Structure 1
Amino acid sequence: MERTPAACAMDWSIQLQKDLRSDIPGKPIDALEEIGRRLQRWNKEPKLTIAEHTMFGLIPEEDKLFLNAILLCLADAFSSGDKQTKKCVVRIFMKIKRRGNRDAEGIFSKEMFENQLELLSRVKEVFDEGDTEERALSLRLFGCWAYLAKDCPDVRYIVLSSLVTGDVLEVKAAYFAAGCLSEMSDDFAIVFLEMLRTTVSSQDSSEDIKLAAGRAFAKLWCSFSIAENAYKLGLKLLMDSLGDDFSATMLISLSKIASRWMLLIPTQIELLTLFQSEDRSLRMQVTSLRCFCFLLAREVCMFPSNTSTVHRVFGILHRSELQPTLQLESLRLLYKILLINLPIIPCMEIPELFQKLFVVVKNMLNSSVQSNRVFAVNVLADLSGKVLGRQDMWSGGSGCTLASQVISFILDQVISLVTPLIGNNMADFAVEFEVKSLLKTLFNLIENCPKLHCLVLNSACLFVCNLMKMIDRKRGSEKTVLSNPHMTVYVSNGKTLVESNIILTMSKIMAFCLENLEYTNTETSHTLDLDALKLQVEIVCRCSYIGSYTRLMNFLLLHLHSAFICMKNLTEDLLSPCKSSSLSCASAILEFDKSTLGCANEILEGNNYWYAYKAGKNAACQGAWSTAAFIFEQLMKAVKSPSCCSWLKSLSWFSTSEKTIQLFFLSGQGTSIIPGGSGLREMGVSALRTQSYKYREILLNGRDEILSAEEILRAPDMGHIFSFQRWFLTLRAKVLKKVADMMQLLDSVSFIQGGTGCGGVLDRGTLLLPTTSLKLGSFINSLMEASCHMKKLAEESDMLLTSFMGMDRQSVMSVSTLALNCSAMAFTAGFAFLVPDWCSSEIYKVSESRYLDETLHALLIEDLLGRFKHIGRKTRENLLFLLKPFRNCNRCSSSRFITQTCSYETVILHKLCEYSVREIFNLFNEASRRERDADALHQIISRASEVLRNVISNLMLVPFHTPHHFFKVRYV
């Protein structure tokens, strides 16, 4: 455990004294700066507890002793050092005062000092014997130590007497010290306020003195009576003032006083509003807006409850020839006000409000200052995200309209920026930066608002289409074919062109939307044109002037598109069992993988290894395992570093195992192990068993390769660098092993479809099959054991998530999907063969087992139910029905990670879970109506086997994605 500052105090004290006595030039100053940073850190730490004293071997108040030693050392340095040393000491405490605790807490509270008089006396010596500059430094140090000096008569006298000296430097320092003392002492503040009245009102006071006095007003707030009197006096002085410098200073000070007392807020808001009128100077308008922002930042008010301030700010922003500074501050104020009030503004007022905001942002886009333009679009996107997060905005259709306007606005602005550059051979980095900021804003918007994914996909397709047409039209015959086909970007005369980066970024945005699209959402699904998306991406992939990396990323997008179609068809197959179209897109996926491999090969041949690694990472995260395996295998041969080679070798083995599993299904062999599929009708029992054996063999081989990949990362010199990666690989290997075990158990059950034909014979608790025999009780016990282990793997996935908090959205979704996968298989295996009405019968006799207890089955239901954020009414009712027999058992419900994110994978997993619950519920109902004879038992076993095999096989069809966090190596 890292030692706290209090535990280091003794070492710091010794080191400071040693360095201050050093004869090395500059060493004492460096020591003072270092101890200053350490004291700032210490001041933010809480006070040590008794347990922490014991842990670090400290005696009580040891930290207090050495803190006093350090401060005495600093006071001695201030007293005996040169002016540079004195200034350095003052800077230390000025920084601590600005950044530390404001209420005399922390290490500089009075209770931490035993020798405050010694400290003050050393500073007083410098004040008494020094020149004007040293006296000013002493006064500032007195101000920093106000919590020590507030009750010292000598210090009070020094400060008050210095206010009336003739030296400006000393007087300004005295005003600072007096203000600090006024924050601590009411009686001193009363005297100081009267002196301020005299000073500011006097005609003889210089402008610098008046400004220092005006700044000191901000510290007169320690009690409401003093704050009220200071505010009234300051308001009068402000109204009588003719100079902008003093008026701006007083406006800021009055805002600081008002921020301390809520009763002064309404008056201050009216005052700030007064200074926003056009007849005021630009500086006063800007200062007024900044004071508004200050009050909002302090969260002292929730204004405006009426909309007058909002309309006034809109009025400022609508002025013609508005100064950029005032324009920026007005928009910043409007942003903060709306950010607070948007959640409570009525839904019917939102469209009108955003129409005005669109006008403001369009005006800001004409600004010559780039940062203002970028900020304006960020404001529009952020406020839109807040509004679109409100459910009531979507019920009336206004949310969809607003979202379309915002998306179109951002993309139109990108087009307007890029249009002048198309066809030019000169790179414009300023435009690239602005375009990148706009697209990043769009990405942040869709990341925070899932309902926009469909709209953004359609808009992105149209945007890329228009961009490609513009490129073709403007370049025409000057279209540049890459002289080196292995280049990864779109180039012309050695310059990277902005439109190439736009196409690449848009492909990433479309991939994100497609990965997280809820195609079952009725608010968006009817507008999604998947064919248009595929067509547009194919056009980009065919362009000869697009680099290999950009084309590869678009081919990965096509792979994702085809996987999405497969999953969509799989959902339809579950809803309509007579259909068999879930793998109709498998050939398209394989074809796109071939094209992707071609692009990857071009990148590797061009020695663009970093681009190749990024492509492999994206392929693994999108589930394109053939591409990932090829890239990592080739990179492994190219790198020279042993550590990089080990990392790439691990990635290669992991990707190869997943590629083999994926290709087994994409080649059509996976359908043959699904009951009711085409393979079952066309194959005999023997051939079907051969396919199932092959499937188990692939799973077990994949498990061995993944464990080998994990073993590479377990090397002693790796340390804890790959802790997440090793855990994730081990978890995946365990899942594959349990799936293979359950498939092997299911192979013990006959594939007979109805009746007791084909040799099935029943004999008191024993099921005899054509090729094997297995006691029914032992078979069910084995399934219960597998179910229990699957549930533990789901819980282990939850533990992985909680152990690595702060992961990105895709990583969380990937791990939580794995957990839901395990939970669904555990539930199905635990309930498919468990028919409560039959368990006690002689014909369904099951031996006792530690896995056959009510607690396990209750927890299986609760675990599955707890992982759904939203669940259908019928499914919930069925689960509660299945839970009824186990409600009286004593169970301990463990915490689980609820699937908060939505994607096409989570949708299909939810559908599979609903299918499993529905089939098991129907199986229970059917069993309750049947006679308890051998034929009925055979039908139940056959049906249960079909349900479990169907669930497992379809769950394995869902694409497996690597978390992005897997590629974040933790260096220690």
Structure 2
Amino acid sequence: GLKHLTDSHEDDFSAVMLISLTKIASKWMLLLPAQIELLLSSLSEERSPPRLQLASLKCLRLLLAEEEGSSCLLLLSNPEMHDKLLGVLNRPKTHELQLQALRILHKILPVALAASSFEEITETIRKQLVVVKDMLRSSRMSIRVLPIDILADLCGKVLGGAKAKATTPVEAAVSLASVLISFILDRLFQLVTAHADDIRASAAESFEVKRLLYSLSTLVGKHPEVPRLLLKSISSFISDFVTKTTDTMRRTVESDVLVSVSKIAASCMAAAFEAPDAEMLRILDVLKLQAENVCHCGHFGSFTCLLYALLLHQHSSICGSRNAPVLLLEDRYASDFADKMLARNSCWNSYKAGKIAACQGAWSTAASVFSQLTPKVQSPSSSSSWLEFLSLFSTSERQLQLFLLKGVSLETRRRREHTENLLTASDALSTAKRVLLLLLLAASDTMCTFRFQIWFSELRAKFLTAVVDAIELLDGYKNPVSCSSICTEVSLRWHALAKEFDLLSMIFTGMDIRSRMIISALTLSCSLMAFTVGFAFLVPDMDSHSGKFKKLCVPEKRRQLALFLEDLIMRIRSSESRKKLLTLLKRIGEDGNCLRPSKLPCFCSDAAALTKLCEYSIGEIVGSSSKRAENGSYLLSTVVSEMMLIPFQTPKHFF
């Protein structure tokens, strides 16, 4: 075969022979090195015509796709191969060859991350970006779209490597991501403004726009710095879109671009779960300003404006601005846009808006949407049952949220207001669950469809009832001995609820990561409450030399306290907080050296508030706080108040 190949002067025959020899070599490991060397020699611009070079690149891809591709990866992941492929990339006006070379680099560069210098890999990707800019001139959509997909995926892998390795220079990876994000958004804006007089964008351009937006969305969560970079660039993009486009352009691409950009921005805000620093707060404020511009400029549809109004709500939640007038004003914006959609019978967009509002904890908007949608379904069906359930669910959450935003304290004379509102919300949730169950009994085939929703609403009702139990302890006993058994009973209830949330997450394995974040945060809240209630009234007696504390901690009591401690240790993220809990575990006579977090929990956008609350409770109970609480009631009331101010959000899987 090699003799026929070297003797041939016909390009078509040589290409066929090259492919045949590659297929043979792919089945026999001993032939691979020689075949790879032959393919590399065929990439020489001086010695091989373009058709043979293209065949060589396709043969290399064939080797990587075979079952023995892992072995081939090791052979191809070397500096010589990188140089050859970069040489192909640098040849002008050879877009098909360049695309094939990019596809091979896409396969071999992640392997090279482990062996090559991190700076070398990022520099290689930067060189590819320069080539891709030239490839955008091609008339073939695949040559314009695929290279950007490849670069986004490679950048994500580099960012993932930088996140995983503490010794990796993060600056190079973040700088690469910044350049790529700017490049994608510039290309997106170029496509948006390319045809100012077109009434409708071509199908090819719409597809390219969607692929660019998808490439951006894949970068979210790859590294903690990416949301910051994306939000900053998205703010500039929205500003340019609002000020530099015509009405025709906005109508043409609004649904493709602005709606998707708002979803990416929401994902970035959710991913930035750590307490935002000053720079992030400035970035969020700029984004808030641009979202307000979209809502007020009057050039966009109600659905688009509603999504950006919900971004304002999310901004207030992350930045800790839970001022009732501010949140109510933002909810009014969103509800007004929802009313306009419903007036035009845009029911599907209204439903999507209500779903997004519920997932962000904007309950006034969600309740407004679902309560108006329910009468629009005339005949009894699973759809009408579902909408009635959503209306009851969201209305109860809205009423509870409005009460909590008033900032009513948990002082003795106001506690009854809290318990009444919490029990009303819990009863409403139970009623909603019963309505859904009764209406679905006749349709047994749809019952399984709503298992998650029924179970989740039941857990939410139990959560609110457990909060009432904790509040009633505040009116309890100043004598820790008489209060001990009641506290233990309430703590065990919270612990059981945490385990039930765990079970929910375990059974529904197909949940998206965002839904798991929300359930994980609810589980941590339950575990924190079990710990706080169990230890709150022991705070004055936590001195390890206190005979009174030792008397309280009989063997059965110690086992129960250890149970709450161990559960929280397994869930907490902070290593410092875990050390404090382990210290407390030893003080009550238990050994927690073998405890390790089984899986670090994922957190939603309000995790910063929940993490701070955990640190506060642990600090007060362990005794490391500079102003340690001498009153268990004060500690418990603080934890309950702050926890209930964290906006309740439904998982996306709920819908």
Return the TM-score normalized by structure 2.
0.91
Give the corresponding residue for 1:879.
581
Q: Give, in whole Å, the separation in 2 of the partners of 1:378 and 1:805.
A: 28
1:303 aligns with 2:75: yes
Q: How do 1:392-541 residues align onto structure 2 when only pairs under 5 Å count?
A: 395=169, 397-422=171-196, 424-471=198-245, 475=246, 479=247, 491=251, 497-520=252-275, 525=279, 528-541=282-295
Taking the aligned partners of 1:854 and 1:842, their CA distance within structure 2 comes to: 14
- 1:342 counterpart residue number: 113
1:558 is aligned to 2:326: no
How far the C-alpha of 1:603 sits from its partner, in A, is 0.6
- 1:836–1:352 distance in 2 versus 1, CA, 3 Å: closer
**Aligned to 1:276, what secondary structure does the other structure show?**
coil
| Residues in 2 aligned to 1:314 and 1:383: alpha-carbon distance in whole angstroms | 15
Q: 2:458 aligns with which of 718, 727, 730?
A: 730
Matched letter for residue 236 of structure 1:
K
2:134 is matched with which residue?
A: 363
The CA deviation at 1:593 is 0.7
1:314: which partner in 2? 86
Q: Would the aligned equivalents of 1:313 and 1:330 in 2 still touch at CA under 8 Å?
A: yes
> Identity of aligned pairs, percent?
42
Q: 1:250 and 1:912 mapped to 2: Cα distance?
A: 69
Give the C-alpha shift of residue 914 in structure 1.
0.8
CA distance in 2, matches of 1:436, 1:395: 32
Query: Quick check: 1:831 aligned with 2:599?
Result: no
Per-residue Cα deviation, 1:537-571 (whole angstroms, up to 9, x for no partner): 111100112111111111001011111122xxxxx
For 2:281 and 2:171, the matched residues in 1 are separated by 14
Q: 1:602 to 1:394 in 2, by over 3 A?
A: farther
Q: Displacement of 1:599 after TM fit?
A: 0.8
Contact 2:22 2:35 survives alignment (8 Å): yes
1:692 partner letter = R
Q: Does 1:290 align with 2:58?
A: yes
Question: What amino acid is aligned across from residue 707 of structure 1 in structure 2?
Answer: S
Equivalent position of 1:175 in the other structure: none
Where does residue 25 of structure 2 map in the other structure?
A: 258
Find 1:605's aligned residue among 332, 343, 346: 343
Paired position in structure 2 for 1:665: 404
| 1:407–1:500 distance in 2 versus 1, CA, 3 Å | same
Counterparts of 1:891 and 1:526 in 2: how far apart (Å)? 38
Paired AA for residue 713 in structure 1: L
Question: Structure 1 residues 912, 416: closer, same or farther in 2, change over 3 A?
Answer: same
In 2, the alpha carbon distance for the partners of 1:923 and 1:364 equals: 61
How far did residue 463 of structure 1 move? 0.9
C-alpha distance in 1, partners of 2:624/2:100?
Answer: 67
**Corresponding residue for 1:281?**
49
Q: Which has the higher contact order (CA 8 A, sep 6+)?
A: 2
* CA deviation vs aligned residue, 1:87-146 (integer Å, no higher than 9, x gap): xxxxxxxxxxxxxxxxxxxxxxxxxxxxxxxxxxxxxxxxxxxxxxxxxxxxxxxxxxxx
1:816 to 497, 520, 524: 520
- Counterpart of 2:156 (choices 349, 372, 385) is 385
SS of match in other structure, 2:359: helix
Distance 1:355 1:925, change over 3 A: closer
1:325 alignment partner, one of 74, 85, 96: 96
**Unmatched runs of 5 consecutive residues or more in structure 1:** 1-233, 481-488, 492-496, 567-581, 674-687, 750-766, 768-774, 928-938, 968-972
Report how far residue 427 of structure 1 moved.
3.2
Instruction: Determine if contact 1:787/1:827 at 8 Å carries over to the other structure.
Output: yes
Report deviation, 1:645.
1.1
Indicate if the aligned counterparts of 2:303 and 2:337 stay in contact, CA closer than 8 A: yes
Which residue identity is paired with 2:647?
P
1:856 to 557, 560, 572: 560
Instruction: Tell me which structure has the larger Cα radius of gyration.
Output: 1
- Compared with structure 1, are the counterparts of its residues 649 and 895 closer, same or farther at alpha carbon in structure 2 (3 Å cutoff)? farther
How far apart are 1:342 and its partner, in Å? 2.9
Q: Check if 1:375 corresponds to 2:150.
A: no
Question: Compared with structure 1, are the counterparts of its residues 243 and 501 closer, same or farther at alpha carbon in structure 2 (3 Å cutoff)?
Answer: closer
Q: Which amino acid aligns with 1:741?
A: D
8 Å CA contact 1:454, 1:528 repeated in 2? no
Residue equivalent to 2:636: 948
Q: 2:500 aligns with which of 784, 796, 799?
A: 796
Is residue 516–residue 903 contact of structure 1 (8 Å, CA) maintained in 2? yes
Pair 1:592-2:330 in alignment: yes
Contact 1:465–1:536, Cα closer than 8 Å, also in 2: yes
Distance across 1 between alignment mates of 2:574 and 2:344 = 51
Q: Does the alignment pair 1:739 with 2:467?
A: yes
Distance change (3 Å), C-alpha of 1:280 and 1:891: closer
Letter in 2 for 1:255: T
Deviation at 1:428?
2.6
SS at match of 1:898: coil
Specify whether residues 906 and 249 from structure 1 end up closer, same or farther in structure 2 by C-alpha distance, changes over 3 A only: same
CA offsets, 1:186-228, max 9 Å, x none?
A: xxxxxxxxxxxxxxxxxxxxxxxxxxxxxxxxxxxxxxxxxxx
**Shift of residue 818, structure 1, vs aligned partner:** 0.6
Indicate whether 1:638 and 2:376 are aligned: yes
Contact 2:96/2:143 (CA < 8 Å) preserved in 1? no
With over 3 angstroms needed to count, the CA separation of the structure-2 counterparts of 1:896 and 1:662, relative to structure 1, is farther
Aligned partner letter, 1:691 = R
| d(CA) in 1 for partners of 2:579, 2:56 | 60
Give secondary structure in 1 for the equivalent of 2:634.
helix
Residues 6-405 of structure 1 aligned to structure 2 (within 5 Å) = 234-278=1-45, 279-297=47-65, 298-301=69-72, 302-322=74-94, 324-391=95-162, 395=169, 397-405=171-179
- More displaced stretch, 613-622 vs 828-837: 828-837
Question: What is the CA–CA distance in structure 2 between the aligned matches of 1:917 and 1:590, rounded to whole Å?
Answer: 34
Q: Which residue identity does 1:859 align to in structure 2?
A: L
2 CA distance for matches of 1:631 and 1:521? 31
Deviation at 1:903, TM superposition (A): 4.2
CA offsets 1:25-74 (integer angstroms, 9 cap, x no match): xxxxxxxxxxxxxxxxxxxxxxxxxxxxxxxxxxxxxxxxxxxxxxxxxx
Are 2:273 and 2:606, in contact at CA under 8 Å, matched by a contact in 1?
no
8 Å CA contact retained: 1:859, 1:893: no
Is residue 495–residue 564 contact of structure 2 (8 Å, CA) maintained in 1? yes
Deviation at 1:354, TM superposition (A): 2.4
Q: 1:251/1:810 Cα in 2 relative to 1: closer, same or farther (>3 Å)?
A: same
Question: Matched residue of 1:300: which SS?
Answer: helix
The TM-score, its normalising length taken from structure 1, stands at: 0.62
Shift of 1:346: 0.9
Which residue of structure 2 aligns with residue 27 of structure 1?
none
**1:647-666 Cα shifts (integer Å, max 9, x gaps):** 01111111112112211122
Partner of 1:702: 425
8 Å Cα contact 1:556-1:596 kept in structure 2: yes
Letter of the 1:856 counterpart: Q
Q: Distance in 2 between matches of 1:262 and 1:847?
A: 68
Tell me the amino acid that sits aligned with residue 810 of structure 1: R
Q: Which residue of 2 aligns with 1:152?
A: none
Which residue does the alignment assign to 1:906?
607
Contact 1:743 1:949 survives alignment (8 Å)? yes
Q: What do residues 911-933 of structure 1 show as CA deviations (whole Å, max 9, x unaligned)? A: 11111110111289999xxxxxx
Distance 1:622 1:779, change over 3 A: same
- Report how many aligned residue pairs link the two structures: 639
Instruction: Measure the CA separation in 2 of the matches of 1:284 and 1:781.
Output: 83
Distance of 2:318 and 2:591 partners within structure 1: 42
